[in-house]
Structure 1
């Protein structure tokens, strides 16, 4: 596959999306092809049927290949699901020589130390995200590199997930004939696709309402502060409509999309939809007011759970206030009057997030739907990863040239890799040895 092209694979509960993109000359992301298939083997963001998931991945990949005429090999995949949790942790290192300034290696050492945290059995650290540093007790240091100090400490936001779930995803990708290039937390991917830098600075909560889960990512001062995955999404709303109106799932889903509203006051008493009955039975009549009452009850529950998480982050403290409020994305964000309901429950400014922040101007309307926020974010992540690799390569070549000119022993440059790259390699190694 060409160097400057990346593929995002969003393995969701309702759909699997493969998206191929590249950077154009203006630094924007151009989507070359997109494929989506119904996701059958995933429940609440976790793979529970490997064979079906492999088939769905292959279908989506083939469709994207046909649309773009590129062959898909490497993919960046998103990890979500109810097994994801996050915790706050502080750690410190004492530097052997405080006469030297703090450099990348010190930070690497500190981050590696956090990875040694003892987790519950079967859990693995997915991301270690430094919040702020302290150097010799001086607090609120944003960037310690280049400072003098003997003791370097930091607060970390640590995201934890289940090893088996991550390995299962890796397994599906490998069996679908693809190569796992990188793993990213889905709320982070969606956030990159729909949030502006100003919003991340001011403080914002991104709520990504998917089919099986609702993901939350909170940013403040440009840094991610809190993540959570709530094990409910659009599917439970459909389920409630199905039960409440005694209709089949397909009809419930259509009703939700076409006539659903999160605000019962909007519908008049006499608005009625007629649904064809099952073979030989009379059609059913459903009032839109009842429909929106069912939806309202469930949406309120989801939004309240998310709001509890936003409060857990500390939104009510003056210093931690989220000035930019809430951004809603994901397929569930398309529900009518959801924005008003969220504003009513939380009292925070709310907007719907479309992933057009970084996309090329002439992108298809379909691609800029909130439905594809995660996939766009994963493509961006894949492109970033490639740029990093290219930069490292250039740096190595420059060092080599200098070394060749001086004809000295080549200096080993410590390789700085994000933990996700290491995790990806571990998953790959595990799969290779498990064959």
Structure 2
């Protein structure tokens, strides 16, 4: 089921060799060769990302060594975002390729969860229906298109800024002479290799932008499955609330019979809570390290783009708008795209509250000394304690726990660091030094 929730993401990554396709009982030689070809393609994609990482790192180091009059920390944050954006797909895709055999465990846990959810037979549950599948297919397409659009617009903006800076420098040096064109300009300058602009754009689209887009699809698999878990827990809470509403303040035979009929339903609830925790654990085990790397790199990229915005006086609006858009894109990746993670945790904690409410309602419908009623309340108490003590909380290597406070806190932390750095270091940078930094940062 995990591959059916994020069908577009898993299909794309499986086609490129980063995930294994479903095996059939009898695999042919052609299928085996196809698997090797896909693996080779996956390795080539990671290798291409490493090439772009090396080029951007060399350009950044060269620019930093040429500027020796400015604070070292400021230069690191100004020139690092492009290197970190190249490092992101290298780490994510390499880890996914290395752990792709473990993806079967995640699919098994998802299948167990959907089976228990279907056995709940909640009136509003659509977990196994065609409508439910189409809903998540739509979410998968939206994630694919939205993340791809954001990345493509960012690179288009970046290419536009590069062209603007080249045009300004060309007019300053050669006037209206049109002998040189942008497409034949060496964008790797001052590095020794010569790579015309048109080849540079092709290289970056294939080996930098596409892997960056794929790395976001890996996160999409995690987030969409977390959203699927949230929907299942929401069905569970809805079912519990329906039972709560069926109990009133009276203590009559009807309410007593309703309480006794809860025993089989409590068994389903307990099984569903257990399978939800197992599903959450598999998601954390498979994606925890990947999410830690992505979130950490995105945080550093945000600080880098923020440093450019805080320190550099941009001579043109295009450059300023580019860095604003880049910072907002990273903020969206760190917050809006990850909203299902804290929502799943909140839905999981609601299970405990709803069960406790049901316990209170049943206590008004049962008489004291009733052994069957006491047994029923004991089971509900165990379920409430289990749900409260072990909610579905997404975490990364035991250091990051994805709640609303965490998502908001990291962005405010980045803003606070930029403000502090501005206060402590701004007096060390002259206006001419800042202008020089802005030119070099954009050219890199």
TM over 0.5: no
Which TM-score applies when normalising by structure 1?
0.27
- Select the structure that is richer in helix: 2
Greater RCO (CA < 8 Å, at least 6 residues apart): 2
- Select the structure that is richer in strand: 1
Structure with higher Rg: it is 2
